[in-house]
Structure 1
Amino acid sequence: MRERVVVGMFSGMRRNRGIPGNRWRVRTAASLVCVVLMSAALPSCGGNSTSEVKPSPVPSWKLGPSVTIERPRGIAVSPDGRRVYVANEAALDSDFGSISVIDAATASVAAIIPHVSDPESIALTTDGRQAYVIGKAFSVVDTQSNTVTTITEETSGDDIVISPDGRRAYIYYGRSGGMAVIDLGTYSTALIGTPGFAEAIATAPDGSRIYAATHDENGLSVIDSVTNKPTAMVRLPGDPRGLVVSPDGKYAYVTYRNSKDPKRHGVAVIDTQKKAIASTISTADAPTAIALSPDGRYAYVTIANKTSNAITMIDTATKSTTATLPINGIPWYVAISPNGRRAYVSVSSSEPPVQEIPGHLQVINID
């Protein structure tokens, strides 16, 4: 049975639909992967220069099975890796989508949770018992019973992350600018000002900072989680798309596109203590979402535009691209399993209208 409890509201402009390369906003699952993994004690990522890096075998990977899903978007993997939750965007003539629950062992749909208000992004609690969903409403899913409760309807959220202590959720919402923090005990909300609308958000592993990749400023805004006020801005070489923070909190990785020079797309590696770009990593084409392996050694970046759809593996220690796999369709979010052995990519059809043709969840096996 579905409950609905309206306890508060905030509003913004809902995102335009279209392919990632041609829309004002490209979402990322990177922050969602951090939510699943940050509760574990994880080793730090690689050193600051290639001279300090010890050679290690590059993981091999290959395309695995794909699971047909209508209009897949945000992804969250359960802490034990046995379930994958996918937000399914609403059809053009509907206000409601669904959540697909995927059995990771069989790569099949185990359940569908219906009547979710146009879901876009999803985050799991560290115990995996609840999922928080943002789209046209802020909703809570009980993963034991697969029931959904709508908390507030007047939202326009596109990305959601949960604080490491599980007490707050952070969302950003559309071109109206800014972010909001939701108290998960009372569901009260407060606005967080950002210098421009956010493209993606993430939290530091210790919860002390929130990071927002902002479009208007082409920068990474650093926000104090106690005062909810920006404290610094790191300028980026291009328009930000995806964002993830390393398990040790030392680096933030931001994918960006350079509209003036398409050959200068890449990933900015930001030193979070110095609040400055430490290095940049070039990508062959326009990057969108980004996720990290559990140890932070490898970054997985989706590439999406009219002519090239793929996923790229980057060695964060040597700061170089190690391999690229083509994707059949338009990749949106990417998430990594807790053991690092699988990547999951939500993919929509490359044929218009993309909202009306079923997409799929692409499984990538990593050895």
Structure 2
Amino acid sequence: MTSMSRSAALVAVSVAGLVLSAPIVHADNVTATVPVGAGPTEVAVAPDGSRVYVTDYFDAAVTVVDTATDTVTATVPVGGYPTDVAIGPDGSRAYVTNSDDGTVSVLDTAAGTVVATVPVGAGPEGVAVTPDGARAFVSNYDGGTVSVIDTRTDAVTATVPVGRLPSEVAITPDGTRVYVAEQGSNAVAVIDVATATVVGSVPVGDGPFGVAITPDGTRAYVTAWDSDAVSVVALPVNAVVATVPVGDRPFGTAVTPDGTRAYVTNYASDTVSVLGTAVDAVVGNVVVGDSPSAVAITPDGTRAYVSNYDGDSVSVVAIEP
């Protein structure tokens, strides 16, 4: 997936009829399916675990789900074709990339309204907020750059050139480094937060898209859409130490709060692969909805929320200890 955006790739796979399923029995299981808007691409959990935010690509909106009841409590209009959402560490703000508008919508989570719209680069794709909440890093898929937003002023303070087709973004727990999957370069760019400059590049699998970092900051898990695998990158040495085969067209990934497992959505398999981080191998699969695109895990590590792009739904997965 080296020449088209997230949405184009998802549509192409769906039309091609490549949705396959070969489930493996695992202790984790789906306990609920929540209907949301059209084309849910990304999902994020509030820091207190009370709410889940889902970007509805074709509805230009964000759906809010109450995790106590697994029901929709609000729908917030945002910009055109929203692709990603990240929540600030205090939970008061959500940042949504609008790929069609070249903007980021800033949501007041208490009020459920957009309080600012920040122009960024072309085709904004991924977004992540630093642990101190001071900055948001936004990958501009069509622009080959990363925009840095000062969250106090909701203004861009720097634009960082990176490789081709930057997609998802992850920040180390200590807030010093940003890792950006470069789908068109088959690499991950490493950005120094303090200087807003690229300080490294890590070759990974083909068509990297999703990236997640373990809570102790020692590993990054990078999905390789074209390789049907996950690259495991040792930090801070920035070297691939394992390549783990997963399902068909791996897309999003998230790591449990205790760091023991990584969850990977397999878009064309309708499954989520569960990786044991101690062994860097698949320890099970969970069958979810139609074309899973993203996954987020609650702070207590008991549930995973999976957006199903073609199913217009979110699967709630109970995580067994």
Normalising by structure 2, we get a TM-score of 0.87
8 Å contact from structure 1 (residues 21, 304) kept in 2:
no
**Secondary structure at the counterpart of residue 80 of structure 1:** coil
* Equivalent in the alignment of 2:19: none
8 Å contact from structure 1 (residues 116, 148) kept in 2:
no
Equivalences, count = 301
8 Å contact from structure 1 (residues 160, 169) kept in 2:
yes
* Equivalent in the alignment of 2:267: 304
Give the superposition deviation at 1:111: 1.6
Q: Distance in 1 between matches of 2:247 and 2:224?
A: 12
1:158 aligns with 2:158: no
From 185, 201, 216, the counterpart of 1:233: 201
8 Å contact from structure 2 (residues 116, 154) kept in 1:
no
Q: Write out per-residue CA displacement over residues 324-353 of structure 1, whole angstroms, 9 at most, x where no aligned residue.
A: 122231111110011111110111226xxx
Give the superposition deviation at 1:62: 0.7
1:289 aligns with 2:252: yes
Q: Distance in 1 between matches of 2:127 and 2:172?
A: 14
8 Å contact from structure 2 (residues 78, 105) kept in 1:
no
* Equivalent in the alignment of 1:329: 290
For structure 2, which runs of at least 5 residues remain unmatched after alignment? 14-24
Q: Structure 1 pair 115/238, CA: closer, same or farther in 2 (3 Å)? A: closer
* Equivalent in the alignment of 1:365: 318
Q: Distance in 2 between matches of 1:304 and 1:235?
A: 23
Superposition CA RMSD, Å: 2.2
* Equivalent in the alignment of 2:21: none
Q: Distance in 2 between matches of 1:314 and 1:21?
A: 27
8 Å contact from structure 2 (residues 149, 155) kept in 1:
yes
Q: Distance in 1 between matches of 2:75 and 2:167?
A: 28
* Equivalent in the alignment of 1:181: 148
8 Å contact from structure 2 (residues 26, 286) kept in 1:
no
Q: Distance in 1 between matches of 2:41 and 2:248?
A: 21
Q: Distance in 2 between matches of 1:338 and 1:102?
A: 15
* Equivalent in the alignment of 1:315: 276
* Equivalent in the alignment of 1:278: 241
Q: Write out per-residue CA displacement over residues 267-305 of structure 1, whole angstroms, 9 at most, x where no aligned residue.
A: 111111222111121214321110010011100000012
Q: Structure 1 pair 154/239, CA: closer, same or farther in 2 (3 Å)? A: closer
* Equivalent in the alignment of 2:231: 268
Q: Distance in 1 between matches of 2:137 and 2:28?
A: 33
The structure in which a higher percent of residues are strand is 2
Report 1:65-76 matches (<5 A): 65-71=32-38, 72-76=40-44
Q: Distance in 1 between matches of 2:78 and 2:11?
A: 29
1:203 aligns with 2:171: yes
Give the superposition deviation at 1:84: 1.0
Report the AA paired with residue 62 of structure 2. I
Report 1:1-367 matches (<5 A): 15=5, 17-20=7-10, 22=12, 60-71=27-38, 72-91=40-59, 97-135=60-98, 136=101, 137-153=103-119, 155=121, 156-189=123-156, 190-258=158-226, 265-305=228-268, 308-349=269-310, 359-367=312-320
8 Å contact from structure 2 (residues 191, 199) kept in 1:
yes
Report the AA paired with residue 342 of structure 1. R
Report the AA paired with residue 30 of structure 2. L
**Secondary structure at the counterpart of residue 7 of structure 2:** coil
Q: Structure 1 pair 271/153, CA: closer, same or farther in 2 (3 Å)? A: closer
- Higher relative CO (Cα under 8 Å, sequence separation at least 6) belongs to 1
Q: Distance in 2 between matches of 1:257 and 1:147?
A: 34
8 Å contact from structure 1 (residues 14, 157) kept in 2:
no
8 Å contact from structure 2 (residues 297, 303) kept in 1:
yes
Normalising by structure 1, we get a TM-score of 0.77
Q: Distance in 2 between matches of 1:197 and 1:338?
A: 30
Q: Distance in 2 between matches of 1:98 and 1:105?
A: 22
Give the superposition deviation at 1:59: 7.7
Report the AA paired with residue 112 of structure 2. N
Q: Structure 1 pair 301/16, CA: closer, same or farther in 2 (3 Å)? A: closer
Q: Structure 1 pair 14/235, CA: closer, same or farther in 2 (3 Å)? A: closer
Q: Structure 1 pair 319/276, CA: closer, same or farther in 2 (3 Å)? A: same
Q: Distance in 1 between matches of 2:188 and 2:180?
A: 6
Report the AA paired with residue 169 of structure 1. A
8 Å contact from structure 1 (residues 249, 272) kept in 2:
yes
Q: Distance in 1 between matches of 2:247 and 2:319?
A: 21
